[in-house]
Structure 1
Amino acid sequence: MPLSDMLLIAAYALVGAATAGLLGELVLRMLKCCSIAVSLMVVAAVTVAAMLSGTLTVCWAMFLSAYDLTVVTLVGAMASVTSLGTALILGRRVVGSCRALVVAARNFGEGGAFTAPEGAAPAEIAALSGELATTSLRLAECRERERALEASRRELVAWISHDLRTPLAGLRAMSEALEDGVVADPARYHRRIREEVDRLNTMVGDLFELSRIHAGTLVLTLARISADDLIGEALECVVPLAREHRVRLVSNQVNAVPVEADAREMTRVLVNLLANAIRHTPADGTVAVVAERRSDTVILSVSDGCGGIPEADLPRVFDAGWRGTEARTPPAGGGLGLAIVRGIVKAHAGRVEAGNIPGGCRFEVVLSAAPARQVAPTRATAAVMVPPEPRPG
């Protein structure tokens, strides 16, 4: 067959198929909100119509006989019926999978867990079901964390309300006694009032610090500092408290390892840990602080002689307001010290852990070591011993 005839046939076929395709596009636009099954049938019909239209156009151009034209038309009609039936079956399957997915998603949206529909489904719908199942698990975890946080907030509000009400009631009683002139030793009452005010000031300061941590507004001024300098400053702050509780402070395993940290905030972390350890260590006990380097991290640890914490309570020791048993309830403060410790350490991209040791417990602060430049030579810091004051009488 000459090339010119082949090109002419191709042109006629293209015109017929294109006409069917344009009509199919218009139908799809009109039915864009209809079911997937209808869309699949339209696509199948357009495919068959394009083929049949192109074939008939070529047959007409070639002046085929009426019999041959009837045969071609009948073959095209049978192909159309088969294609439309196949598209209908496939569309019903896809629609069934979509409806099952809609029901599962509706239950998921009403607060339940997502359960993937049973049975085989197209790959895209199966992938969507998998993603929804993963999202359901994540949302369930988030809801559980939210419930735990809400319970923790309620406990914190209750504890703080109690801790604020107690000193305020005492302040009111002492001020009324002073006002009525029924106090034999006014100076003693003045000292008590000042102590209660200091206690309230500490609680308010802790609440403000904790709110900054939770709001993400804690600004750190990072600098290269040696661990023994941090521990030395913290020990100086807690020496009076150690004398009051007759507890020895030991720091003979402190190495001058460098860290990148905010000196003020990390000193507060160590002071909180040391004060917590001192308050829970019996008289004549020992609180030890250690600083060492392990691989690319620096470990700052504080060990006490509190007798240990129940294993069930260890995951909660850093929760705001948590105090554990009455034996570990501090005489002052709102139970915010360890929560502040965790928040500050997290802000330094570190972590803090608590665990039991023979006779007590150990709190470890893990920070990244500073880059190795101008590292001070390692040296052992002399032990800081706070001898107990002699008991009166």
Structure 2
Amino acid sequence: MALALGCSLAVAVPGAYVLSRLRRRAIALHVGALVGVAVAAVAVGIVGAALAMFISTHDLTVLLVVVATSGLVSVGVALWLGRRFAADAMWAAEAESTRRELVAWVSHDLRTPLAGLRAMAEALEDGVVDDPETVAEYHSRIRVETDRMTGLVDDLFELSRINAGALRLTLASVALGDVVSDALAGAAPIAGARHVRLVATDGDWPAVLGSEPELSRVVGNLLVNAIRHTPADGSVTVTGGRDAEGAWLAVTDCCGGIPVDDLPRVFDVAFRGEPARTPAAAGPGLGSSAGLGLAIVRGLVEAQHGRVEVENVSGGCRFEVRLAAS
């Protein structure tokens, strides 16, 4: 026993020093080294004690093979688990960073309209503003800002349902053409106020397997996003059809394109892109610009077993939704 303990300590003490030097290294390497030191200390202790025992050469060989095999398997499993743990830790760090960014954006988007609402309410309450035209304007602006905050709260609620996995949809056959027609009718006043043309193809729209309320929100969010980033006198085009992969819907705008490095992040929560694509004000009917609309689109599309992608095209970008045809 003393011999086994001494052999184990001979490995464990230097191993502890090595581990202390690896403290700030990669998690997978640290876990692998930790298990390696533990396995090596036990193995050396067992081998040292076995060599001092009067056992046959055959038994000693078997013991050495078993110890070596167990040690290699243990270290291999430790490295695999270490990589998994490192990936989970990285995902958790990214999720926490996204959460902090989202809180910062939402706090800003709430603070700005609340400050304006407070100022206008105080002006009306103190009688600073009394002519009917200005009072009516203040009332209109209060309603607009209230609608913006309501939309932001609705987006946060929808996003929380998606991220929590609480979104349970009943899928059925939905006429995609009807959904697009309703969404265009709802977005027409917004586009008109910003002098943006809405164009839709007159083709044979397919039926898809999905949920009509969520599909309406997907198309509505894509249209609002396209209108927000399209300059005056520009156009937003909606197309759709069916191919070998299933049904598809595309919304193309005239935003001028998205930087290639930003394309993979377009559907991330709270991502707004470069300043040129971030409006100073949302504008009438456009709701908040907290970077939640496209994240909600991706969540709702994936909940209907589809996918959404974005690519740059001449003069703008194209968002394409893929769904199962019905």
**What TM-score bracket applies, with the shorter chain setting the length?**
0.7 to 0.9
Percentage of identical aligned residues: 51
Change (3 A) 1:296 1:164: same
**Quick one: distance in 1 between partners of 2:149 and 2:265?**
24
Corresponding residue of 1:387: none
Of 165, 173, 185 in structure 2, the residue corresponding to residue 224 of structure 1 is 173
Q: Which residue of 1 aligns with 2:103?
A: 157
Is 2:161 the counterpart of 1:212?
Answer: yes
Per the TM alignment, residue 237 of structure 1 is displaced from its structure 2 partner at its CA by 1.1
1:49 alignment counterpart? none
The match for 1:237 is 186
Which residue of 1 is the match for residue 310 of structure 2?
354
TM-score norm. by structure 1 comes to 0.65
* Residue of structure 1 in register with 2:92 after alignment: 146
Which secondary structure does the structure 1 equivalent of 2:187 belong to?
Answer: helix
Residue in structure 2 matched with residue 91 of structure 1 by the alignment? 63
TM-aligned CA deviation for residue 219 of structure 1: 2.6
Alpha-carbon offset, residue 88 of structure 1: 3.4
SS of 1:188's equivalent in the other structure is helix
1:359 is aligned with what amino acid? G
Following superposition, the deviation at residue 174 of structure 1 comes to: 0.7
Structure with more relative contact order (C-alpha pairs < 8 Å, separation 6 or more) = 2
CA distance in 2, matches of 1:318, 1:307: 18
Tell me which residue corresponds to 1:259. 208
Q: Which residue of 1 aligns with 2:126?
A: 180
**Structure 1 regions of 5+ residues with no counterpart?**
1-34, 46-80, 96-120, 371-393
Residue identity matched to 1:139:
F
Whole-Å separation in 2 of the counterparts to 1:278 and 1:233? 16
Q: Secondary structure at the match of 1:362?
A: strand
What secondary structure sits across from 1:235 in the alignment?
helix
Rounded to whole Å, the distance in 2 between the matches of 1:131 and 1:255 is 55
Summarize the Cα distance change of 1:288–1:175 in structure 2 as closer, same or farther, 3 Å threshold.
Answer: same
Name 1:73's counterpart in structure 2. none
Please tell me whether residue 303 in structure 1 is matched to residue 252 in structure 2. yes
User: Secondary structure in 2 aligned to 1:260?
Assistant: strand
1:39 to partner: Cα distance: 11
Q: Any idea what SS the aligned residue of 1:309 has?
A: coil
Q: Secondary structure at the match of 1:250?
A: strand
Q: CA deviation at 1:90?
A: 4.5
What one-letter code is carried by the residue in structure 2 that aligns with 1:168? L
CA distance in 2, matches of 1:174, 1:277: 31
Q: How does 1:375-390 map to 2 (within 5 A)?
A: none
Deviations 1:31-87 (A, max 9, x none): xxxx8669989xxx9xxxxxxxxxxxxxxxxxxxxxxxxxxxxxxxxxxx6x52443
The one of 268, 290, 295 equivalent to 1:339 is: 295
Tell me which amino acid in the other structure corresponds to 2:60: L
In structure 1, distance between residues paired with 2:202 and 2:91? 39
C-alpha offsets along residues 171-202 of structure 1, whole Å, 9 cap, x if unaligned?
11111111110114211111111111111111
Match of 2:141 in 1: 192
Give the aligned partner of residue 100 of structure 1: none
1:273 to 222, 245, 250: 222
Give the residue type in structure 1 aligned to 2:118: R
Give runs of ≥4 in structure 1 deviating > 6 Å.
38-41
Matched with 1:327 is 276
What is the rounded CA distance, in whole Å, between the counterparts of 1:309 and 1:256 in structure 2? 28
Which structure has the larger Rg over C-alpha atoms? 1
Q: 1:92 to 1:222 in 2, by over 3 A?
A: closer
How many pairs are equivalent?
271
Which residue of structure 1 lines up, in the alignment, with residue 26 of structure 2?
none
Match of 1:166 in 2: 112
Residues 1:237 and 1:201: Cα distance change in structure 2 (over 3 Å):
same
1:316 to 250, 260, 265: 265
> Where in structure 2 are there 5+ consecutive unaligned residues?
1-44, 283-287
Q: Which amino acid is 1:136 matched to?
A: G
Please give the secondary structure, in 2, of the residue aligned with 1:219.
Answer: coil
CA distance in 1, matches of 2:65, 2:301: 55
